[in-house]
Amino acid sequence: MAEEQWGGDDELDFSQAPVDTSSFDEGRAPCRGKGRGTILYNNNDSNYSAGGYNSYDKKKGDCEESYDNNAQNENRENNRYNGNRFGGNRQDNDKPHGNNRSDNDGNDRRWQDNRDRNNSRRNRDDNNDETEDNGYSGSYQNGRNDRPRRDRDDNRGGRGYGRNRDGGDDGGGFNDSGDRGRRRNGSDREDNKDEPKKREIYVPPEQPDDENSLFGNDVSMGINFDKYDDIEVKVSGENAPRPIQSFDRSGLRSILLENIKKSGYTKPTPVQKYAIPIIMNGRDLMACAQTGSGKTAAFAVPIIHNLLEDPRDLIKTNTSCEPHVIVVSPTRELTSQIHQQFRKFALGSIIRTELVYGGTSVSHQTHKVLNGCHILVATPGRLLDFMERGKIKLSSLRFLVLDEADRMLDMGFLPDIEKIIDHETMVAPEERQTLMFSATFPSEIQELAGRFLRNYLFLAVGIVGGACSDVEQNFYQASGQSEKRKLLKELIDKQNQMGGIEGTLVFVEQKRHTDFIAAFLSESNFPTTSIHGDRLQREREEALYDFKRGKMMILVATAVAARGLDIKNVSHVINFDLPKTIDEYVHRIGRTGRVGNRGKATSFFDSNVDTPLTGDLVKILKQANQPVPDWLESGGGGGSRTFMPGRGRRFGGEDIRGNKDAYDDRYEDVGYAPPVPAEPEEVW
């Protein structure tokens, strides 16, 4: 869905919003905009969370929603609820029905004509039927079903149905002066026919460079970290360098060792033990490891080391920049996280890092890139756009990293990746190192890698595609959205009584359900926010920021948050809807139980939908030494063809070149890491 475009001269005006800015962290102003799906309401107009939801004050009235378009009834509702509810007749200017606060009184409202945005806010379900534009299921309020709008036989208002939309008989909107207008479908307005869809021009805030900001949010090593020493590792290819056993004996530069200590790392994880010397030795690499195993540091640390060991001039002009490193990842959130990791490990060095991703101002990112950068982290689409504009050239590229490559394939980024690699400015494969990291690498990705990796090493750590044994996995049977909501409420109530709900991540399959469930939980006085692809980039970043800082206890998300995100306080992952593939399930529950910490994952199993996943779920549970419910095991055998972990082997990922073991006493001694016995964990 296209996002709305705000004109270049538009400015965000927060002066009308009755927001207590003291509740925000210093330097972070509350963001109120015109974002789709931003159904925000609060108790007293003073406790507002950008990108989140606050519970409704029951003392001000019940939650019965009026669908009457009568002006007198609307005025009564406005005075009764003081505007503090979702889906009602009066809403703030950042809600999807276009109502603004007055200039003089925060409790007065003036209606704004919604004609200029009448087509941009309609969501479509999987059958392309128009549904309620705020994404909330009508079955939750007054028993109205979430039917396609064209099938409704009423002309009542409520949640924007009667707000002057094009091409329908449910007009009943307001005119430009704010008065009640005649019913009309907007067909007599020329500006409704060809008005371009608008989008917010978002400039992300500058990220601080102090140590507390860079190192304060790292996931610390858990009590089960030493179990990593027992994980089996397989390397195939020719002349692989020896693994390291400690950072101190790795040959890394002192500035990197200092930043590693500040990050709280005491010893390398298995993927780091093998990947760091491979990259330092100049080899191409395809690495597979479980989620939460430190893959980002496994390539960030040796890349920075090599840049510092062999410094080269940074080429930039007034119109273009030639970075030395480009890291490509599938989602905006993961891109931002990888960028932060590079900034952290490069702290105090001459290395400059930048990032480009969609949903943000192109001119702002262009200005930063043209200032020059050694390392550029990007999403595929925005990177390709900058390359086609001539802003980024690959003539000086030394490292190309593809992170979560299988996810990029699933998301349809393969053509973009091919265009990037085949770009006219791209250096020859022998002049660069190409690295691929992910938790899964199906044969399609390996065949693709064979086209642009040269004499690469294949690294498989643990059961590739398997779940981490540090995550406790539980399953409950539930059929339909209503039963799942009831079970979710009971589960979170119990969790709240036993010690708190902070760090709960709830996954749903459809974007239109995300905001609804977030509001449902907020009504139960659980501070909740949401993130999905239809939210503006500003709203997505605000939601993540509030969740990471503990301002919002619960985050409801679609698959946009399933890959790679390393959030410190995630203690419980709930699969409200199970995904379609076992790979996605593994990535979801991998948001908790990271780096040796214990975690918990709970999944709602709907036999009407999730039966094809049964066989693979049973295998995942057994491989992670988790108990399998009798009802799940008895219904097994319907496993999907997308992923069959193990298939009779201990590894779910194999080198399709022939599975040739690199460790037949054929180490290449590079002088960095002589084999030493494992050392006890040091306290840094």
**3-state SS record for 600-656:** EEEEEECHHHHHHHHHHHHHHHHHCCCCCCHHHHHCCCCCCCCCCCCCCCCCCCCCC
What CATH number is given for 211-461 in this structure? 3.40.50.300
Instruction: Calculate mean pLDDT across residues 410-422.
Output: 89
C-alpha torsion angle, residues 155, 159, 162, 168 (rounded to 10): -80
Q: How confident is the model at residue 515 (pLDDT cuts 50, 70, 90)?
A: very high
- For residues 250-263, average pLDDT: 94
Of the listed ranges 67-76, 263-272, 585-594, 614-623, the one predicted with least confidence: 67-76
- Which sequence spans correspond to the domains of the chain? 211-461, 471-636
pLDDT for the residue numbered 624:
84
Fold matches, 211-461 and 471-636: yes
Which of 122-136, 428-442, 485-499, 544-558 has the lowest average pLDDT? 122-136
pLDDT band at residue 218 under the 50/70/90 scheme: low
Q: What pLDDT does residue 443 have? A: 75
pLDDT in tens, 347-406: 999 999 999 998 889 999 999 999 999 999 999 999 999 999 999 999 999 999 999 887
Q: Residue 60: is its pLDDT beyond 70?
A: no
Q: Which of 120, 100, 97 is nearest to 166 (CA)?
A: 120
* Residue 467 C-alpha from the chain's centroid: 19
* Local confidence band at 462 (pLDDT 50, 70, 90 cut-offs): confident
pLDDT of residue 246: 94
Q: What is the mean pLDDT of residues 59-65?
A: 37
Distance CA 118, CA 135 (A): 16
The per-residue pLDDT for range 261-280, each reduced to its tens digit, is 998 888 898 999 999 999 99
Q: What is the mean pLDDT of the chain?
A: 71
The lowest-confidence range among 98-107, 209-218, 537-546, 590-599 is 98-107
Residue 481 scores a pLDDT above 70: yes
- The mean per-residue pLDDT over the stretch 95-100 comes to 39
Give the CB-side neighbour count of residue 351, counting CA atoms within 13 A.
28
SS3 track for 390-404: CCECCCCCCEEEEEC
pLDDT digits (tens, 9 = 90+) for 629-673: 999 988 744 444 333 333 333 334 567 676 555 543 333 333 333
CB contact burial 633-652 (16+ within 10 A = b; e otherwise): bebeeebbebbebbeeeebb
Q: How many CA atoms within 13 Å lie on the side-chain side of 408?
A: 28
Does residue 511 sit in helix, strand or coil? helix
Among 90, 67, 317, 346, which residue's Cα sits nearest to residue 209?
346
When pLDDT is cut at 50, 70 and 90, the band that residue 340 belongs to is very high
Which CATH superfamily, name and number, covers 471-636?
P-loop containing nucleotide triphosphate hydrolases (3.40.50.300)
Task: Kindly indicate the confidence band of residue 548, based on its pLDDT and cuts at 50, 70 and 90.
Answer: confident
**At 322, is the pLDDT very low, low, confident or very high (cuts 50, 70, 90)?**
very high
pLDDT at residue number 38: 38
Mean pLDDT of all residues in 13-31: 42
Predicted local confidence at residue 166, as pLDDT: 42
CA separation for the pair 222, 269 (Å, rounded): 12
Among 454, 476, 470, smallest CA distance to 596 is for: 470
Question: Within 13 Å, how many C-alpha atoms sit on residue 639's CB side?
Answer: 17
Highest-confidence segment of 6-10, 38-42, 249-253, 538-542: 249-253
| Angle formed at CA 285 by CA 283 and CA 287, multiple of 5 degrees | 150
Residue 403 has a pLDDT of: 92
Which range, of 12-21, 260-269, 282-291, averages the lowest pLDDT?
12-21
Tokens matching residue 469: 């044994």
Query: Which tens digits make up the pLDDT trace of 345-358?
Result: 999 999 999 999 98
